[in-house]
Structure formats: structure tokens, C-alpha cells
Amino acid sequence: MPSAGLAPRRVVQLSALSAMFALFAAQLVGALLPNVPVFIAASAAGLALDTYLQHKQPGLLSLLGKVRFDVTVRQLLRDMLIVVGLLRIEGINPLREQAPLTVALLCVYLLHFACQGVAVLVRRTRTLPIVTRNIDASALRLTTAPPRILARRASHRLLVFSIPATAGLLITAGTTAAYWGGIGLGVSLALMLLGTLHLGTWLLPKKRAKSEQKVMEWLDKWLADYQPTVAMYFSGGTTSAYQANMWLSTLAELEKPLIVLRERFMVQKIDATDVPVICFPKVATMFSLENSTLKTMLHPANSGKTSQVLRIPTIKHAFINHGESDKLSSCNPYAKAYDEVWVAGPAARERYALAEVGVEDKDIVEVGRPQLAPIRPYAGPPTGTYTTVLYAPTWEGWDGNPGNTSVVLAGENIVRQLLADDGVRLLYKPHPMTGSVDPRAGAANERIMAMIREANTKRSGARPGPEAAAELARRTVELDKLTSTAFRASADEMERMLLQGAPQGDRDAAIAKATAAWETAYWSSFPEWEHQIITDARPAIFACFNQADLLISDVSSVVSDWLSSEKPYAVANTSGMPEVAFRAGFPTVRAATILTPEADGVPSLLETVRDPEKDAFTEARTELKEHLLGPSDPPSLVRFDEAARSLCAKADERRVRMASRLAAEIPSPRGAADAEDFETDGNGAEDSVNGAEDSVNA
């Protein structure tokens, strides 16, 4: 079900398209009659509308491009109608006045296509075989990008640079004075020519980057100097970067870490970090890692391109996943392709054994969940006026299982029950992919948010003063400066590489400090009675954990992470399974209150949160926490680091074995020389016999 806001937008888009075609029709009629006022007005309005839509509705115009009615065709049609109009307007000599104008107009198009050709060459020379971040790449002669209107926006260039020509020709149509058209065309020709020449300077040696061979030689040298040992490999779509970002803080604690990506766009999707980043768009360039010091590669997700990096025999591979849950996706058969599978605790080990997907028990390593360190432990029941409840449902998934998300069948009932309690403050944080597969989930999500907004209008109380909002704004600016790089609109991949060189100082520590200050300012900027809808990346889910007294969620990794706090939690059962079977089938819910789609158990659940004596799952949560996440001692980060060192040692041992085997299979140059002497020396056989006899006698 589309949201209500889409209908007016579509009306506007259809109106714009209708206006464009109406103006072309009016221009044609004005040219044929001829009706000079209509002709001039329609021509000018058509160009103005096209230029406006290029800036405000590029997606709409892309639809026209799919039917071969792109900007070049539209501008060519517009100019052709102007030429027809000039032919039919009395007072303009077709041969002496209009012919030169028509030739000049054709020259404008020739220069436009010439500029486009130069733009293609420039883009190719500025497309490097790799993309880096947090690495000083100044040795590659990186330069800033040319103006975007010249290098990347051909449609904008044609429209903008054609404005003087169109204006001059329309003035000629109104006055029958051909020199106005000549002046306008001269200005457009000058703009096209100067733009092409200026763009061409990026093809000169001083602005060209080094060749692919030189770039790869530079990378090999950097790898030899940096000597990475552990890398995180990631490949995915535009919305999957969170799977890698959750491991950044853990990766930064390892020795000589590295991030290896495969998609160029993903370089900017990775959150702020000091860890060096290298993107290998092509398989051939990625194999430069084979001869580096890299020993271990960590994989937070499976992708089609993972099989390519698994071909590198000198590197050991470990699957670390991007969260554990009782879903079948947490036991993907692809995991058996890795040398080791790192899991949080014994529960995941049992899960793989039960799944029978080919992962052997000896290849499973329990490392805990090191990124859960910021989650604060249970400190008792709520002491304030309000009980803060975090409802964090997961998304609908790809398999159509109704038990994946509670949003569709139970979400509105859960929220309705929570809002009915005057002592509840609700934090609603849906999964960012909610509604991406099932439109029903997106529609239910919209209705839930509408319910929360309406509930807020029925509440009142003191609000923080303006200084709280000012503090949040100040902290936001500070954090944005640390976590993002301000690129100008024309910046391309090479310019971003130039700006994102080697980091200065300990940026990771500064970001952690700024994030903590921002979170404090964020929560202080709202009254304690106000429900919150949290759909932005900030505050993160762990920050919401620390604010909440109770979690309501689905069978997902959110539940496993929440258990590190040992606070009460509930899981919605929308699978249709009986509660006994549901608890047996999903170990993460064994210490949870199970909610039916009707959510009629919410009031009693809130009682157990406010009165711990009524909480029957206190000890069960403690036991389940260790079962899911492993022991608290040694800390998870220590176990993770030990696992990395152990796998690196295995990689070293393999390299030694392979080197020994290779040395045994291929004779040394000295051995080859001795063999040659033996064959060419006529006494070789006799000496050999004598030597054998001496040995026997001895």
C-alpha cells in the first residue's frame, strides 16, 4: 500500500510531463502558423521547464530517457522547431541570414559532442584500478576533479550552454534582426569551446594519474611497508554496510588491520574509522594480496564475490557473521567454505550441529561478541516515573515466513497495549529494511508511527529548555566533523581518495568520546514522558538498550545482544507455533516472555519489569546469556584477539609447509649444476662406482 505522500508527488510529476509535451505542441503550432508570441513563449518556457526538471526531478526525466526521449533529443527537437519558425517568419532571409545561423547551431552540437568525448576520456583516466581510504596516496599524483557540469552532467551542460543560443534566436524571431541570433550562438559556441579546452587540461601529464601498472606497484610497496596481518572482507548492496560497520571498533583493536571491499560505492558507506581501506573492483587486482603479509581474513557476511577471495591460498578465512539468531540464516551452508567459523558461545555451536550444514565442530571457535562492551548491565527495576520500553522488530526477510517480523501481525497490538499504559515511555526502532520486501510490513510500520505520534499529542509536561536543543545541535556538528568528510559536489572518486588520506591523530578515540557526548545530549533534549520514533542511524541500537528497561523484539540478533545486559525481554511469536514448540525451536527465547499476535500479555509483562519479585526469568537470563555469548572472563575482545592470532599462526604454518614442499619438488640451482657436471664428466660413472665400493669396504 503506497504512502499517502506519494499521490501528490505523482500528480506533480504527471503535470510536469504534460506541461512539457504541451509546450512542444504550442511551439510547433506557433512555428507553423506562424504566431510569433506563442512561438517565443512556448520555446522559452520549454527550455526553462527542462532546465528546472534537470535540477529538481532528474528521476522523472530518466524515465523519458528509457523511451529514447532524452535531453539531447528534446533540445534538438526544440532547436529544430525554432529553425522551422524562423523559416516561416517574414523578414528573415533564409539564405543570407538563416543559413549561417543554422550552421552555427550545428557547430554548437558538434562542440557539445566533442566535449562529451573529452569527458569520457577524462573519467577513464581518473578511474583507478583500486580505491583507498585512510592511506596516503599522494604518490599517485591525485588531483581534484574537473567541474561536474563539464565532466559528468552532459544534460545540464547542453541545456545551460544552449540558453544564450536559444535566447538570441528567439530575439531574432521577434525582431527579424539576425545579428541577435549570431550573438547568442557565438556565446554558446564560446562556452562549449572553452569548456572543452578547460576539460582537456585534465588529460595533460601533470593532471593524469599513474597507469594501472604503476598504481599496483605502489600498492604492493604500501602493503610491504604496512605489513597487514588481519583484514575484514566485505561485499554487498547499498543497504548492507551496517553488517561491516558493527565490526569496526573490534577490528581497530587488532594488530595491523585492513578493510578489503569490492564495490566502489562501499568505500563511502563504511563509517568513520582509522583502519586502512582498499577496494578491489576487479578480481585480478585483488590477487595482489596473495603476496602480501596478510594472514587472516574475517567475513561478516556471505556474498557472491566471497568465493573469489577464498581462492587465495596464503590467507586463512574466518566467518564472523553480522549477528547471531535462531534463524536458519545464521547457519548458512556457505559457512563450511571458511577455515573457521567464529561464534559467540555454545548455543551457536549447538545450532550448527543441529543444522547439519557441513560445518565441523573442530572448525568452530567461540569468541563472544566484543562489540557488546558498551551495553550497560541490569541495575534494577525502573526508579523514575516511566518505564522505558524498546520495541525493535526485525524486518520481513526474503523467505516470506510470517514469523520473521512481528510488525505485520502483532506490531500494532503491541504498540497499542504499551501506549495504553500511562507509565510507559516507548522507543520504537524498526529495522531499516522494514517494508523492502513485503508492502504490508511497510504499511503497518507507517500505521505504528502514526499511533505513536497521536499518543504524544495526548501527553503534556515540562520540556527541556532551548539550551538542550542548542547543546544537541553543537554536539551533532562536532560528531559530523569527525565522522564525515565534506566533499564538494564535483568531487569524484580520485578527489575523495586525495582528501581521505592517512588519518591524523587517534580519530577512533575522538569519535567514541564525541558519540558518547552526543548521545547524552540527544536523550536530554527530549522530555522523559515523550515517546520516540528512531529511524536514523543515530542513536544506535546499543544506545537505545542503555535507555530501556524492557525489550520487545522478534527472533533476531537484537535479542542475543540484549541478553548481555540481563534485563527483561519479550519476543513476539507470529510463527503460528505453540509456545512450547516456539521455546524449544528458538533457544534465544527461553528466558523471554512470549507474546501472542494479540499482545494481551503486555500488562502482566510490565508488572514483572516494575516488580522483580514477579520476574520468573531472572536466573534463566543469566544462564542463557552465558550459553549464547560465552563466559565474561576472559573478556570477549581478548578471546577474539587470541582467535585471530591463532588463525594467523595456522596461516604461517601452512606457508612454511608449502615452502618446504616446493623446495623438495624443485631442485636447487646448485643441485642442477652438479647434475650437469655429472653428465658431462666422462669419469663420472667410474668415480661413482669407486665411491660405492669404498662405501661397502668401509
Which CATH number characterizes residue 367's domain?
A: 3.40.50.11820
3-state helix, strand, coil in the chain (%, to 5): 60, 10, 35
Residues 154 and 255 in one domain: no
Determine the pLDDT at residue 387.
97
Task: Let me know whether 10 and 108 are in one domain.
Answer: yes
Predicted local distance difference test score (pLDDT) of residue 664: 86
Q: Are residues 166 and 111 in the same domain?
A: yes
Query: Which residue carries 503497518 as its cell?
Result: 444
Asked if residue 218 belongs to a domain, the reply is no
| Mean pLDDT of all residues belonging to the chain | 91
Looking at the structure, do residues 70 and 161 belong to the same domain, yes or no?
yes
Q: Is the pLDDT score of 698 beyond 80?
A: no
Query: Does pLDDT of 487 surpass 90?
Result: no
Separation of alpha carbons 257 and 267, rounded Å? 16
Domain count, the chain: 4
Helices (H), 227-324: 242-245, 248-252, 283-286, 306-309
The mean pLDDT value for 231-257 works out to 93
653 found inside a domain: no
Q: What is the DSSP string of 660-681?
A: HHHHHHS--HHHHHHHHHHHH-
Residue 481, φ and ψ in degrees, nearest 5? -65, -35
Q: Supply the angle between the helices 412-419 and 602-610 in degrees, to the nearest 10.
A: 50
| Amino acid 417: pLDDT | 97
pLDDT level of residue 264 (50, 70, 90 thresholds): very high
Give yes or no: residues 165 and 237 share one domain: no
- Whether residue 432 sits in one domain with residue 355: no
User: Strands, DSSP E only, in 611-667?
Assistant: none
Q: Which of 301, 310, 188 is nearest to 239 (CA)?
A: 301
Q: Is residue 424 part of a domain?
A: yes
3-class secondary structure, 650: helix
What CATH number should be reported for the domain holding residue 618? 3.40.50.2000
pLDDT of residue 682 exceeding 80, the answer is: no
Would you say 443 and 1 are in contact if contact means Cβ atoms under 8 Å apart? yes
**Percentage of the chain lying above the pLDDT 90 cut:** 77
Same domain, 31 and 142: yes
Which position has the higher pLDDT, 400 or 442? 442
The reply to whether 113 and 186 lie within a common domain is yes
Query: Taking residues 614-639, what's their average pLDDT?
Result: 94
End residue of a domain, out of 341, 372, 403: 372
In a domain, 24, yes or no: yes
Residue 489 has pLDDT above 50, yes or no: yes
11: confidence class by pLDDT, cuts 50, 70, 90: confident
- For residue 312, the enclosing domain spans 227-372
Note whether 92 and 167 are same-domain residues: yes
Strands (E), 446-560: 532-533, 550-553
Whether pLDDT at 668 is above 60: no
User: Does 607 reside within a domain?
Assistant: yes
Q: Judge if 310 and 398 occupy the same domain.
A: no
515: left (phi over 0), alpha (psi -120 to 50) or beta: alpha
| 259/317 same-domain check | yes
Classify each residue of 633-670 as buried b or exposed e, where b means 16 or more C-beta atoms within 10 Å of its C-beta: eeebbebbbebbbebbeebeebeeeeeeeeeeeeeeee
Amino acid 674: pLDDT? 47
157, 187, 203 - which closes a domain: 203
List the Cα angle 332/334/340 in 5-degree steps. 100
> What's phi and psi for 543, nearest 5 deg?
-65, -35
Q: Rounded to an integer, what is the distance from CA 413 to the centroid of its chain?
A: 33
In Å, what is the CA distance from 407 to each residue of 348, 441, 589? 26, 6, 18
Would you say residue 212 lies in a domain? no
pTM of the shown model: 0.83
- Give 169's Cβ-side CA count (13 Å radius): 31
| Per-residue confidence (pLDDT) for residue 166, from 0 to 100 | 97
Check whether residue 231 and residue 359 sit in a common domain: yes
2: pLDDT strictly greater than 60: no
> pLDDT for 272-322, tens place per residue?
999 999 999 999 999 999 999 999 999 999 999 999 999 999 999 999 998
Whole-angstrom Cα Rg for the chain: 34
- What does each C-alpha distance from 557 to 159, 324, 431, 593 come to in angstroms? 51, 5, 12, 17
pLDDT in tens, 15-47: 999 999 999 999 999 999 999 999 999 999 999
Q: Which residue's entry shows cell 558538434?
A: 110
Say if 468 falls within a structural domain. no
Domain presence at residue 510: no
Among 346, 372, 398, identify where a domain stops. Answer: 372
